C-alpha cells in the first residue's frame, strides 16, 4: 500500500457504513451463509458425540463425606449432571470468534424433530481430549474457509483470488491460525496463573482484595484481546504472517479505539439480542429452522462488516502513520539544517538584517 505523504488521507468508513457494506456483500453473495447454516443444521439434526458416561462416573466420585460441604456437593452434582445431558463434542466445530458462528452451540437439548437421534459415546478421558482437539482443528479449518470466502468477496476486485489461489491460501492460513490460537491459549494460561498467584497472595490480606485482583485481571485480559482483534483479518485477507498481522491489528486499534469498541459492542448486542429470540422455539419444533437461517444471515453480515472495517481502517491508519513519519523527518531535517546553517538561511538572515 503506497503512502502519499503530505496529502490528507480520505476519512475511513464508519461503523454503520461497515454494517451496510457487510450486509450488501451477503445479499450479493448469499452462498456465504451456507457454512454456518449447514453447521447449525448438523448440530441440530445430526448425531451427537456424548460424554454422559464419563460425567456420570465423575458424579459417583463425589460422595457425601466430611471433607466437602453438602451444599458444595449439590452444586458439583448439578453441574456434572447438566454437562452430562447437554454436552455435544461436535459443538467444538464452532471455534467462534476465530471460526464459524453457531446458534445451536448454546441451545441445550437432546431432542430434534426426529427424536433423540444417534448418540456416539466417548468412553475415556483420553478419548475426550483427543476427540476435542481433532474436532476443534476441523472447526478451525471450517472457520478459515468461511473467512477466506468472506475476505475474497469484501476485497477490491483487483485483489480477489481465483478458486485455485483461494484453496491454496486456505491451507496456509489454517496453519497460521492454529499457531495464533495456540499462542492465545498459552498466553491465557500464563496470564491466568499469574493472576491466580496474585489473588492467592491478596487473599491473605482480604478476600475482597483477592476478588478485586481477579476482576482486574479479567478486565485487563479482555482489554488486551481488543488489540489483537483484527489479527485473523490480516492473516486471511492479506496473507500476512502472525507477527505482521498482530502489528497491523495493534495499529488499527490504537488509532481507532472508540470505533473498534463500538463495532464489537454492537455486534455482541445484536447477536445476543436476536439470538435470544431465535432460540426461543423448542429444539423439537421445525420453527427453529427459521432462527438458524436468520442467524446465519445476520452473523455472516456482521462478520463481513468487520472485514470491510479492517480493510479501510488499515488503509487510513497506514496513511496517517506515513504522514506522521514524514512530518517527523521533515522537522528533523529542518532542525539539522538550522544546526549546521545552510547558505540560503544565511542569505535570508542577511537580507533581513539589511532591512
Residues 6+ apart with CB under 8 A from 269: none
Per residue in 231-273, pLDDT tens?
999 999 888 999 999 999 999 999 999 999 999 999 999 998 8
Segment 280-294 mean pLDDT: 89
Domain regions of the chain by residue span: 15-51+87-330
Confidence at residue 330, expressed as pLDDT on a 0 to 100 scale:
65
How much is the pTM? 0.82
Segment 90-98 mean pLDDT: 89
Confidence at residue 58, expressed as pLDDT on a 0 to 100 scale:
66
- Whether the per-residue pLDDT at 332 is higher than 80: the answer is no
How many angstroms separate the CA atoms of 24 and 15, rounded?
14
Cell of 147: 473467512
Per the CB < 8 A criterion, the answer to whether 5 and 69 are in contact is no
Confidence at residue 211, expressed as pLDDT on a 0 to 100 scale:
87
Cell of 114: 426426529
User: Residue 49: helix, strand or coil by DSSP?
Assistant: strand
Per residue in 164-207, pLDDT tens?
777 778 888 999 999 999 999 999 999 999 999 998 888 888 88
Residues 6+ apart with CB under 8 A from 93: 39, 42, 43, 99, 100, 102, 135, 138, 139, 142
Amino acid at each position: 500500500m503506497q503512502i502519499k505523504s503530505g496529502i490528507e488521507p480520505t476519512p475511513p468508513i464508519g461503523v454503520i457504513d461497515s454494517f451496510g457494506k457487510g450486509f450488501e456483500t451477503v445479499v450479493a453473495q448469499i452462498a456465504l451463509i451456507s457454512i454456518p447454516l449447514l453447521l447449525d443444521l448438523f448440530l441440530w439434526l445430526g448425531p451427537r458425540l456424548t460424554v454422559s458416561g464419563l460425567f456420570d462416573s465423575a458424579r459417583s466420585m463425589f460422595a457425601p463425606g466430611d471433607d466437602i460441604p453438602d451444599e458444595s456437593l449439590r452444586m458439583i452434582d448439578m453441574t456434572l449432571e447438566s454437562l452430562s445431558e447437554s454436552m455435544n463434542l461436535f459443538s467444538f466445530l464452532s471455534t467462534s470468534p476465530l471460526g464459524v458462528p453457531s446458534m445451536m452451540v448454546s441451545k441445550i437439548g437432546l431432542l430434534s424433530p426426529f427424536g433423540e437421534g444417534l448418540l456416539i459415546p466417548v468412553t475415556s478421558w483420553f478419548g475426550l481430549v483427543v476427540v476435542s482437539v481433532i474436532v476443534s482443528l476441523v472447526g478451525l479449518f471450517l472457520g478459515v474457509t468461511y473467512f477466506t470466502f468472506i475476505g475474497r468477496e469484501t476485497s477490491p476486485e483487483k485483489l480477489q483470488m481465483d478458486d485455485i489461489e483461494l484453496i491454496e491460501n486456505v491451507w496456509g492460513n489454517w496453519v497460521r491460525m492454529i499457531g495464533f490460537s495456540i499462542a492465545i491459549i498459552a498466553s491465557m494460561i500464563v496470564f491466568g496463573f499469574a493472576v491466580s498467584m496474585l489473588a492467592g497472595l491478596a487473599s491473605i490480606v482480604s478476600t475482597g482484595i483477592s476478588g478485586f485482583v481477579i476482576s482486574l485481571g479479567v478486565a485487563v485480559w479482555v482489554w488486551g484481546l481488543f488489540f489483537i482483534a483484527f489479527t485473523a483479518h490480516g492473516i486471511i485477507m492479506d496473507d500476512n504472517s502472525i507477527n505482521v498481522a498482530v502489528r497491523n491489528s495493534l495499529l488499527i486499534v490504537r488509532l481507532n479505539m472508540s470505533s473498534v469498541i463500538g463495532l464489537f459492542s454492537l455486534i455482541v448486542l445484536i447477536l445476543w439480542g436476536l439470538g435470544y429470540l431465535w432460540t426461543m422455539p423448542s429444539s423439537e419444533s421445525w420453527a427453529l429452522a427459521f432462527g438458524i437461517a436468520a442467524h446465519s444471515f445476520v452473523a455472516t453480515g456482521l462478520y463481513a462488516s468487520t472485514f470491510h472495517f479492517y480493510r479501510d481502517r488499515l488503509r487510513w491508519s497506514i496513511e496517517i502513520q506515513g504522514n506522521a513519519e514524514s512530518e517527523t523527518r521533515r522537522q528533523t531535517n529542518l532542525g539539522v539544517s538550522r544546526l549546521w546553517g545552510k547558505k540560503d538561511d544565511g542569505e535570508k538572515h542577511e537580507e533581513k538584517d539589511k532591512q
